[in-house]
A and B are shown apart, each in its own frame.
Chain A
Amino acid sequence: AQTVTQSQPEMSVQEAETVTLSCTYDTSESNYYLFWYKQPPSRQMILVIRQEAYKQQNATENRFSVNFQKAAKSFSLKISDSQLGDTAMYFCAFMKPSNYGGSQGNLIFGKGTKLSVKP
């Protein structure tokens, strides 16, 4: 079974600085998706970034980028120029995009990292 581990329960960063959130996962699959979701105090889960395992290029979305190391099964999120609005819980998630084996629609989440951006 796949597992996702986020080893940093809480982190803090000063506004405008850069922070990196860690995520490791365990799977025997070769094709899968990895995601970072953000959940602010409003509790709405918001997609931050997505990475397809077959793509070697790291995904980027504005100030958010990932460091995807497939062999090491590592998927870290870098937030540049941190803003107060980035304060939230960040969840790393895994999904196997297969229509077989009962994986449809099933995101496997880590426990989350609570990020606080300080002014």
Chain B
Amino acid sequence: KAGVTQTPRYLIKTRGQQVTLSCSPISGHRSVSWYQQTPGQGLQFLFEYFSETQRNKGNFPGRFSGRQFSNSRSEMNVSTLELGDSALYLCASSFLGLETQYFGPGTRLLVL
């Protein structure tokens, strides 16, 4: 069974731009969670989607948003990028969102 995939793997943007990251979960998994990883803050939960609905959200500004499609693929969007948004963005999938999560390779975003 294929693992979680994320595209693109690397991205360079400038301040003020917006960016969209994509995540395809393991086949059959309906829950997708997103995390931001930075050296200073560590791993922080962004949000979780299940059956195209956001069920849970972390403490991030409204510039961070996401959505999930009927095939469980998920996208996250960051608008009006700031330097502090430079991070590794990880997505993880699980069957119901209540058990073990399996992670993708991440998207490394650099904001200049």
A residues within 8 Å of B by Cβ?
33, 35, 37, 42-47, 50, 91, 95, 97-99, 102-112
Check A97 against B55 for contact (C-beta < 8 Å): no
Determine chain B's interface SS by DSSP, over half rule: strand
Known: A102-B56, A105-B56, A107-B92. A47 touches B102 (CB 8 A): yes
B33 close to A (CB within 8 Å): yes
A107–B106 contact, CB under 8 A? no
Q: Which residues does chain A contribute within 8 Å of B31, judged by CB atoms?
A: 104-105
User: A106-B33, A111-B42 are known contacts. Are A97 and B99 too (CB-CB below 8 A)?
Assistant: yes
- B22-63: CB near A (< 8 Å → 1, else 0) gives 000000000111010000001101001110000111100000
Q: How far is the CB of A118 from chain B (nearest CB, A)?
A: 24
State the total of A-B contacts with C-beta under 8 angstroms.
71
Flag if A105 contacts B42 (CB, 8 Å). no
A66 to chain B, nearest CB (A): 15
B55-112 residues with Cβ-Cβ distance < 8 A to A are: 55-58, 88, 90, 92, 94, 96-106, 108
Chain A residues contacting B49 (CB-CB under 8 Å) are: 105
Listed in ascending order, the chain B residues whose CB lies under 8 Å from chain A are 31-33, 35, 42-43, 45, 48-50, 55-58, 88, 90, 92, 94, 96-106, 108
Q: Which residues of A contact B98 (CB under 8 A)?
A: 95, 97-99, 104-105
* Closest residue of A by beta carbon distance from B33: A105
Residues of B within 8 A of A108 (CB): 45
Q: A106-B48, A106-B58 are in contact. Are A50 and B106 (CB under 8 A)?
A: no
Which residues from chain A contact B90 at a C-beta distance below 8 Å?
45
Asked if A43 and B100 sit within 8 Å, CB to CB, the answer is no
* 9 tightest A-B CB contacts, nearest first: A105-B48, A45-B103, A105-B97, A105-B33, A109-B43, A104-B97, A97-B98, A104-B55, A104-B56
Across the interface, B45 reaches (CB within 8 A) one of A46, A50, A98, A107, namely A107
Which residues of A sit under 8 angstroms from B58, Cβ to Cβ?
106
A106-B56, A111-B42 known; A42 and B105 CB under 8 Å?
yes
Listed A/B pairs (7) with beta-carbon separation below 8 Å: A44-B104, A45-B92, A95-B98, A102-B57, A103-B56, A107-B43, A109-B42
